[in-house]
Structure formats: C-alpha cells, structure tokens
Amino acid sequence: ETGVTQTPRHLVMGMTNKKSLKCEQHLGHNAMYWYKQSAKKPLELMFVYSLEERVENNSVPSRFSPECPNSSHLFLHLHTLQPEDSALYLCASSQDASSGANVLTFGAGSRLTVL
Amino acid sequence: GQNIDQPTEMTATEGAIVQINCTYQTSGFNGLFWYQQHAGEAPTFLSYNVLDGLEEKGRFSSFLSRSKGYSYLLLKELQMKDSASYLCAVRDSNYQLIWGAGTKLIIKP
C-alpha cells in the first residue's frame, strides 16, 4: 500500500463506548497529524507528532487520546465521547513538522458518529 | 485573531474558467497552500505559493499577493471531475497551518 491509510472509514459509537482510530503512512515521513473536519468549518488541528514525540496538543479534550508507537503509525483512542464530536477525523503526514513548504499528505478520513 | 476567508460555494459551467478567492489575516506568513477535496476523499495538495505572482500547473494556476493578503486559484477548461471542495491554508510565523472553511465548487454541464 502507498500513501496514508485510515481505518475504520466509518464508525458509529455510543457515548459510553471506547474505540480507536488507526492511521498508517508508507511514505517515510517523520511527522503525523490528527485533524477534525466538521461541515462548513476549517480543519481543526488536534495533535502533531514529530519523530514519535508529541509536539502539539491544541487544547483537545482528554476524551481524545493519541498514541504514536512508531513513525509509521498513529492512533486516536476515543472514550466517553459527546454527540458534538461527530465529524470526519483526518490523519496526515509530512516530511517534517516545521518547514514552510511542508506538504501534508492526508488519509481519506474516519467518519465518526456519536449517538 | 487569525482568519482565512473564502466563498462557501461557487457554481460554474463545464469548459469555462472559475476563480476561487482566498483572503487571509495571519500572524506572519510562511506560504499559502491550496488543496482539493472530493466528497468522501482525502484532501490532496494542489499548489504552494510563498512569493508574489502566478504559479501555473496545467489547467490550475495559483496567484499570491502578500501585501494584500490575497490569493486565488484559477481553474481553466473546467471538467465535471473538478467538482470538489477547495481548501486554502496559510502557514503563519510559527509554522502553524491556518485553514479556511473551504469552497465547494459545483460544475454544471
């Protein structure tokens, strides 16, 4: 496989469930990102990992917990979510996290619905 | 605060030309990006501008004026497959990407 792969593509969960989103990149990139995309709103950066260390955490509620076990894999663990957390969650990777011309390669996203 | 403005939705005709504008107010500037996102798919990189002027890439061109805080994406010879959302993003002085809400482009035959 090439590019950035996200699983599952669709997820429906109750407010008391625990689930995880998975992201895998096959590009040899050193930085990985989680974004939240809601309808008609700008992309919201949630977390950034550079060389497996978290470098950004944009005041995200603790019910979202990221994990980056190696430079190719990124997880987003979800627990006790709220209906307003329903959105498309996009994973992205880039060569590094801090250069100006840094181009992000995105996965197709995980569509999350919280009931 | 930092802000990116772009039209919510635009409609154009197959074979025509359309210009999608993006204005920005950010803390510093380290480049402007355009991404294309088809419904249900990943955003994909289209262009990057860091200096003033026009960058042409096939049917797509992107223009930047840093003094005016303004960019546009120009799509020529529109095809039905160009129906998508177009996202404008600016990298600020801290190398953070500030995103617009996207412009949904509808192409009609």
| Separation between Cα atoms, residue B108 and residue B103, nearest integer Å | 16
| Separation between Cα atoms, residue B36 and residue B85, nearest integer Å | 6
| Separation between Cα atoms, residue B15 and residue B75, nearest integer Å | 10
Question: Mean pLDDT, 10 residues at a time, over chain B (109 residues)?
Answer: 94 98 96 96 96 96 97 98 98 92 97
Residues of B with CB under 8 A from a CB of A: 4, 8, 30-31, 33, 35, 40-45, 48, 50, 87, 89, 91, 95-102
Q: What is the pLDDT of residue A16?
A: 86
- Cβ-based contacts of A106 with chain B (< 8 Å): 35, 42-44
At residue A83, the 3 state secondary structure works out as helix
Best to test chain B binding among A43, A46, A110 (most B CBs inside 10 Å): A43
Query: Whole-number mean pLDDT of chain A?
Result: 92
- Interface check for A10 against chain B (CB to CB < 8 A): the answer is no
Whether the CB-CB separation of B43 and B35 falls below 8 Å is answered with yes
pLDDT band at A2 (very low <50, low <70, confident <90, very high): low
C-beta atoms surrounding A100 within 10 Å: 11
DSSP state of B58: T
| Separation between Cα atoms, residue A60 and residue A8, nearest integer Å | 21
